[in-house]
Structure 1
């Protein structure tokens, strides 16, 4: 066993600091003040003058400010505990259950503390909790948290490195927002709005075609059904079993036996080319079955069987249109817990179809291209975040073996 004292230095150190001293062990209360705000969520004002930090990643607005300067803010309770961090210089107000770190001592970079705190605080919170989740943060969890500081110039070098990466991330996130807005515009232009039977934009080769046909899901598909209403007996491997969560995440993490699969799908089974629709909890998210392996579904998902009457990718796109989304929500039980749409109501939902299947396919290809661009951008952002996470682990000392 190695009894040598662990050196408080990072795995990677910029060349000009390689011969500098070890990082100094302090606590948050040694380098900053900590308090909470005095406002409630209901105090927010749309289009207010100042940022208003509440217990979420979303920054609200307000017309008052209780602080003017450099600060770090984090949620004191709720689902955001240990996961939400904001850094600001300027005037702002904040919620009574939001903690504010401020008044950073001389030779301490507030932005460096922000990066260090956001990297290590969640682990500290979990260490101090007997549960798998934490309901609230006590002030001492923050003030007594150890923090390790290099010289001020090394702090600044690390801040500059991470800030440059943050700037790149910001640009890429803005690109993603633009792509999503572009897709939203396409959905508005390519599908008829309520009360109309033609879209605002029609591809030139179809401009002289007749108006779109008005139908319903149960008229264009031979079968629309949901999954099993009973929680199955899961197995470590076997036939994939999907629910709303799997459709949203795209992950396979639950399986059932072949025997149970054959029983559950004895009357109806989802297959390649069918369209899945979420109907409980999350309502109205579509997904074409673009895989050929066998699978089964839970009651939270509905299946629209493929048909010669429609292109499956067209239907997937149409379901995302505001016209369909508005109708499915009108037919849903939004006050139920969880919210849901009954199968009979889903079957009655209106669908507009171009009579020419080539027009359906052209629209589907257009929306699919937008989806591919969005998905590619999401992967790019994930890769950048992963790179940043790895970089932070290299730039800060490894404190995983220490009690923090």
Structure 2
């Protein structure tokens, strides 16, 4: 239970303990690769931003190109997850996008924005890191990810929290751009 809640949710009852696999579908079946697409590899996302777009054909695609994305999907970096290079996919530029299997693909049952905020909490990251294997390139598999316990509120409270945190992220991003411009 969080210490602080929005006033309208203070009497809404306790949050539920669920497995991550109950909060979202992990690596949903997505069908065949499109003929041409933007490939998102592990270098394409930095701090929640898509920084590189590489257009490739199905024939030239690496074997790791398997996660066909839909709007609202979250991709979660399974190798070195402490870097937080995850992405909430919401592009509608007419291109198809496919992510590497270096990411787990999450499709939220409720709020994708809340899910995106949830995967960046210290609590979840620590649980993930405790289940990672490897020392130079710690990684977690999708099966272990799905078993991690998280605490979630009702959908309406998820949406309110996500909206608030997303708004703060936007303000922080704008301030960072101002600081960069002043430098």
State TM-score, norm by structure 1.
Answer: 0.39
Please state if 1:353 is matched with 2:143. Answer: no
Deviation, structure 1 residue 334: 5.0
Match for residue 275 of structure 1 among 69, 74, 81: 74
Please state if 1:244 is matched with 2:42. Answer: yes
Please state if 1:224 is matched with 2:57. Answer: no
Write 1 or 2 for the structure with the bigger share of helix: 1
Q: Relative contact order, CA 8 A, sep 6+: which one is greater? A: 2
Residues 45 and 87, structure 2, Cα contact 8 Å, conserved in 1: yes
Runs of 4+ in 1 over 6 A off after TM superposition: none
Match for residue 9 of structure 2 among 182, 206, 211: 206
State TM-score, norm by structure 2.
Answer: 0.81
Question: Judging changes above 3 Å, is the alpha-carbon distance between structure 1 residues 260 and 296 closer, same or farther for their aligned structure 2 residues?
Answer: farther
**CA–CA distance in structure 2, aligned partners of residues 239 and 371 of structure 1:** 29
Aligned residue for 1:343?
142
SS of residue matched to 2:172: helix
**CA–CA distance in structure 1, aligned partners of residues 113 and 153 of structure 2:** 13
Residues 272 and 290, structure 1, Cα contact 8 Å, conserved in 2: yes
Deviation, structure 1 residue 284: 6.6
Deviation, structure 1 residue 247: 1.4
Structure of higher CA gyration radius: 1
Aligned residue for 1:330?
130
Write 1 or 2 for the structure with the bigger share of strand: 2
Aligned residue for 1:289?
89
**CA–CA distance in structure 2, aligned partners of residues 379 and 216 of structure 1:** 37
**CA–CA distance in structure 1, aligned partners of residues 83 and 8 of structure 2:** 31
Question: Judging changes above 3 Å, is the alpha-carbon distance between structure 1 residues 334 and 382 closer, same or farther for their aligned structure 2 residues?
Answer: farther
Aligned residue for 2:31?
none
Aligned residue for 1:318?
118
Please state if 1:301 is matched with 2:103. Answer: yes
Correspondences of 1:4-403 after superposition (within 5 Å) = 198-224=1-27, 238-248=36-46, 250-259=50-59, 265=66, 269-283=68-82, 285=84, 286-292=86-92, 293-307=95-109, 310-335=110-135, 337-355=136-154, 357-385=155-183
Deviation, structure 1 residue 304: 0.5
SS of residue matched to 1:314: helix
**CA–CA distance in structure 1, aligned partners of residues 60 and 182 of structure 2:** 42
SS of residue matched to 1:222: strand
Residues 38 and 56, structure 2, Cα contact 8 Å, conserved in 1: yes
Extract unaligned runs of 5+ from structure 1. 1-197, 226-237, 386-404
Q: Deviations over 1:266-302 (max 9, x none)?
A: xx62210011111113447232111133111112211
Q: Deviations over 1:165-220 (max 9, x none)?
A: xxxxxxxxxxxxxxxxxxxxxxxxxxxxxxxxx11101110111111111112122
Q: Deviations over 1:84-141 (max 9, x none)?
A: xxxxxxxxxxxxxxxxxxxxxxxxxxxxxxxxxxxxxxxxxxxxxxxxxxxxxxxxxx
**CA–CA distance in structure 1, aligned partners of residues 83 and 139 of structure 2:** 10
